[in-house]
Amino acid sequence: MPRIFRTILLFSAVCISVLSSTDVFSDERLALDKLVDLLSSSRDIQGDFVQFMVDSKGTRVQETKGSFKAKKPDYFYWETKAPLAQQIFVYDGEITVYDPDLEQASVQVLGDDFSATPALLFNGDAQGIAREFIVEERAGSEGEAQFLLFPIEDGSLFEVLRVRFKGSELSDLRISDSLGQDTTISFIQTYVNSGLKPSDFQPVLPEGTDVIRQSD
């Protein structure tokens, strides 16, 4: 699995006890509704990000910068800059991962595993989020909204995803895994409803790129 795409796919593990309380269920529903309401305010979003990883000792071990864009319902683009350069395109039901260092791109049909990634959050799909995650709201600083998402399915490499908003704008995502590592993606200079078109997500690869089409 490509190294940066591995980070984007760190979204599944059961980290919450099964509770039968009606009040807890109501709180989860309210948290989901609030999260979806915040996510649904935009038809498209684009901007830059800084991604960094902190190990179990609190030491920052890796930092990457990049840009992204997303359009409802199923268009997504994610680019990281050197020294870990990579581009990911989600377009027309396929995902293309381009590695400029290898001058190589892999293409495959979009599978179910992509439903538990940030792309689903950008879509603001209430049913999809409820199917993949248990959502809890947590107190944040003044003017902030903060949510914890616990994947429902077993077998994941991470334990919890934190989503934070400043006002109505997405501020950052933080992934905590079972090894005690935290990966934080901080969004900067984001723009919403700028009129992105599906064609803006079509893969454009340099001439001579070795394209490998993977089967299911």
> Distances in Å between the alpha carbon of 102 and those of 77, 94, 132, 205?
20, 21, 34, 13
| Residue listed under structure tokens 């959050």 | 121
What pLDDT is recorded for position 156? 61
Beta-carbon contacts of 66 under 8 Å, excluding residues fewer than 6 positions away, are: 48, 49, 51, 78, 79, 80, 81
Full domain range(s) for residue 102: 3-213
How many domains are there within the chain?
1
Question: Who's near 117: CB < 8 A, 6+ residues apart?
Answer: 8, 9, 11
> How far are the Cα atoms of 66, 78, 159, 175 from residue 188, in angstroms, in the given order?
10, 14, 25, 18
Cα–Cα distance, 83 to 81 (Å, whole number): 6
Structure confidence at residue 83 (pLDDT): 84
Q: List the CATH number of the domain containing 80.
A: 2.50.20.10
The answer to whether the CB of 49 falls within 8 A of the CB of 65 is yes
Beta strand 210-213 with 104-109 is parallel
> Listing from the earlier edge strand, what are the strands of the sheet with 94-99?
133-138, 144-151, 158-166, 169-177, 182-192, 44-54, 60-71, 75-80, 86-91, 94-99, 104-109, 210-213
pLDDT at 63: 87
117 three-state secondary structure = coil
Please report, in tens digits, the pLDDT of each residue of the chain (216 residues total). 443 444 444 322 222 222 223 344 567 788 888 888 887 777 888 999 998 888 888 888 888 899 999 888 788 899 999 888 999 998 998 989 999 999 999 998 876 555 445 555 666 566 777 777 888 998 877 888 999 988 777 766 667 888 899 888 888 988 888 778 888 989 988 888 899 999 999 999 999 999 999 875
